[in-house]
Amino acid sequence: MPFSELQKELAERAAQGLLRARRTLNTPQSPHIVVDGKSYLAFCSNDYLGLANHPQLVAALQQGAAQWGVGAGAAHLVSGHFEPHHLLEQQLATFVGKPSALIFSTGYMANLGVVQALVGRGDTVFADKLNHASLNDAMTLSRAEVKRYRHGDMEQLARLLEQTKSGRKLIITDAVFSMDGDIAPLREMLALCEQHDAWLYVDDAHGFGVLGERGRGSLAHFGIESSRIIYMATLGKAAGVSGAFVAAEQVVIDTLINHANSYVYTTATPPALSSALLQSLQLIEEGDERRAHLKLLVARLRSGLTGLPWILMESDTAIQPLLIGDNQRALELSAALRERGIWVAAIRPPTVPQGTARLRITLSAEHGEADVGRLIGALHELAC
Ligand SMILES: *Cc1c(COP(=O)(O)O)cnc(C)c1O
């Protein structure tokens, strides 16, 4: 058997409670979904504002397809850059207060492209140990030297910057850490960038649309702005559609257009997706009520989950991880919730460090207070 070695590796993974498998949704994304034929109250999507199945976005996508067709047919630099793409870039740049913006097909590709285009051999990237996997892959791809610092440890970051005497310096970080829900100390990081003439690349996949005034994201949350910051956000989470964008100084965007391989050598996204995203951007701007409701749900969940044998991690965002520790125990709890009709994903290594398996509870503005109450009740039952 040519693949017996792979079979053995998978069997080992399964024995450690680490095998991954998919489940199939039979309904649109929402807190109330049908999965493999069974109904669930779900707490695992990143659809924080509940826009993934919003009727206005559905209509905008349909209208976009009617006007622009389905496929872009070419890369952006050939003949695949359409009016909706261009308009979306302009509006995104204005929204986040940057001179220019560039859309990518996915956040994963944006991260690969940006880091690879901006740094290379002889340069250094500084990265938080809990950064998203796509940022880690991006560093490897760039061939720059990699210096990783302990999660949120600004003293160690400062020391590493001091020790670096030559080449470009790029600090890269999740703004809201995807598996922890806490927020990077961006203000301190920016100060270090200024002190050491470094650039700051901020991946705001989980802050855009949710944090800051009008949902402008993590930079607005801290009230910081600097030409040194290269801002990235994804458009498949709070924005409810798909894709990502990078916003920065014009010279940075021009560099990406010329050097980011994951931008240059790929077919542009369907222009109709940009039509839907233009509508989404409007709903985000007008979404104070959704954000206020989400905040209320976070407070309700946090007060309801006190007194459990598991630690609810320190987080003010829609990502509320319950730290379990052991892989099997996390899987068992996730399965026990599922039996009660509640779906919360168990997150295990290597997505998170060894011994920190967790239930990653995520909230959405579409959840009701009663939904959160049901989850709280079920977890208290399971704790007995
Ligand atoms: C989801 C995510 C990405 C990847 O974005 P996609 O658009 O899903 O490819 C990148 N960074 C972070 C922090 C993420 O959570």
User: Which residue type occupies 52?
Assistant: A
Strand 357-362 relative to strand 345-347: parallel, antiparallel, unpaired? Answer: antiparallel
Whole-number Å distance, alpha carbon 234 to ligand 1 midpoint, is 6
What's the pLDDT score for residue 21?
A: 85
Chain Cα centroid distance, residue 303: 25
Concerning whether 237 is annotated as a catalytic residue, the answer is yes
CA distance 244 to 287: 20
Res 16: pLDDT:
85
Amino acid symbol at 384: C
* Closest ligand 1 atom to 109 CA: 9
Helix 133-142 × helix 107-118 angle, to 10°? 30
What residue has token string 């910057």? 161
For position 18, what pLDDT does the model report? Answer: 82
Contacts by residues 72-79 (CB-CB < 8 Å, ≥ 24 positions apart): 72/267, 72/268, 72/269, 72/270, 72/271, 73/267, 74/267, 74/268, 75/264, 75/265, 75/266, 75/267, 75/268, 76/257, 76/263, 76/264, 76/268, 77/257, 77/264
Residue to probe by mutation, ligand 1, list 105, 234, 319, 352, most atoms within 8 Å of CB? 234
**pTM of the predicted model, to two decimals?**
0.97
**Per-position pLDDT tens, the chain of length 384:** 899 999 999 999 999 878 888 999 999 999 999 999 999 999 999 999 999 999 999 999 999 999 999 999 999 999 999 999 999 999 999 999 999 999 999 999 999 999 999 999 999 999 999 999 999 999 999 999 999 999 999 999 999 999 999 999 999 999 999 999 999 999 999 999 999 999 999 999 999 999 999 999 999 999 999 999 999 999 999 999 999 999 999 999 999 999 999 999 999 999 999 999 999 999 999 999 999 999 999 999 999 999 999 999 999 999 999 999 999 999 999 999 999 999 999 999 989 999 999 999 999 999 999 999 999 999 999 998
**What is the 20 CA–ligand 1 centroid distance (Å)?**
19
| Per-residue pLDDT at 1 | 82
User: Catalytic annotation on 178?
Assistant: yes
Would you tell me the crossing angle of helices 369-383 and 327-339 to the nearest 10 degrees? 120
Residue list, ligand 1 pocket, CB within 6 Å: 106-108, 111, 132, 134, 174, 178, 203, 205-206, 234, 236, 244
> What contacts 100, CB < 8 A, 6 or more positions away?
89, 93, 247, 248, 249, 250, 252, 253
- The structural domains of the chain, ordered by start, are 24-49+288-383 (3.90.1150.10), 55-285 (3.40.640.10)
What local confidence, expressed as pLDDT, does residue 384 receive?
Answer: 82
305 alpha carbon – ligand 1 mean position (Å): 28
Is the CB of residue 262 less than 8 Å from the CB of residue 74? no
CA nearest neighbour of 275 among 101, 93, 57, 107: 57
Dihedral sign for Cα 105, 106, 109, 115, please: positive
CA pseudo-torsion sign 84, 265, 242, 315? negative
Phi, psi of 210 (to 5 degrees): -110, -50
Contact criterion met (CB below 8 Å) for 197 and 207: no
Q: Which residues are within 8 A (CB) of 145 and not within 5 positions of it... i.e. 6 or more apart?
A: 123, 124, 125, 167
Q: Active-site residue 274, yes or no?
A: no
What φ, ψ does residue 183 adopt, rounded to 5°? -110, 135
SS3 341: coil
What span, in angstroms and rounded, lies between the C-alpha atoms of 156 and 373? 41
Q: What is the pLDDT of residue 58?
A: 98
Residue 17 confidence (pLDDT): 78
Tokens for 110? 């944006």
Between the CA of 63 and the centroid of ligand 1 the distance, in Å, is 27
Q: Where are the alpha helices (DSSP H) in 16-123?
A: 55-68, 83-96, 107-118
List the beta bridge partners of residue 89: none
* Protein residue whose Cα sits closest to atom 7 of ligand 1: 107
